[in-house]
């Protein structure tokens, strides 16, 4: 089962991939032969940002779908509560 998204992903700030906390990850990307398109620190930052954007956009879409479904379910329940 999919994990429930409790927080609106549009409110999550993008991490500072150029900061010291991600230095090890950037160096690993530059050294990794499986990422030949990443040869500099800046390219590693761009790769991390791009991957984060893809993941965050996916979460935003899922969050919006669930929100629409929940709102639809509420309206369905409300409408069904009244006899026709």
With tokens 């940002």, the residue in question is: 49
Please check whether residue 1 lies inside any domain of the structure: no
Does the pTM of the predicted model rise above 0.85?
no
Residue 54 lies in a domain: yes
pLDDT bracket for residue 43 (50, 70, 90): very high
> Rounded to 5 degrees, what are φ and ψ at 56?
-65, -40
- Residue 43 domain boundaries: 16-80
Helical residues (DSSP H) of the chain, grouped into ranges = 23-31, 41-80
pLDDT one-digit tens code per residue, 10-33: 999 999 999 999 999 999 999 999
Count of the separate structural domains present in the chain: 1
Residue 50, both tokens: 């791009």
User: Is residue 7, in this structure, part of any structural domain at all?
Assistant: no
What is the average per-residue pLDDT within 25-51? 97
Answer for the pair 52, 15: CB distance below 8 angstroms, yes or no.
yes
């Amino acid at each position: 089962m999919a994990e429930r998204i409790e927080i609106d992903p549009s409110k999550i700030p993008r991490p500072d991939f150029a900061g010291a906390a991600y230095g090890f990850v950037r160096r690993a990307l530059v050294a990794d032969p499986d990422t030949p398109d990443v040869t500099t620190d800046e390219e590693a930052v761009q790769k991390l940002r791009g991957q984060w954007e893809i993941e965050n956009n996916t979460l935003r879409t899922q969050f919006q779908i669930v929100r629409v479904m929940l709102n639809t379910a509420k309206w369905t329940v409300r409408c069904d509560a009244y006899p026709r």
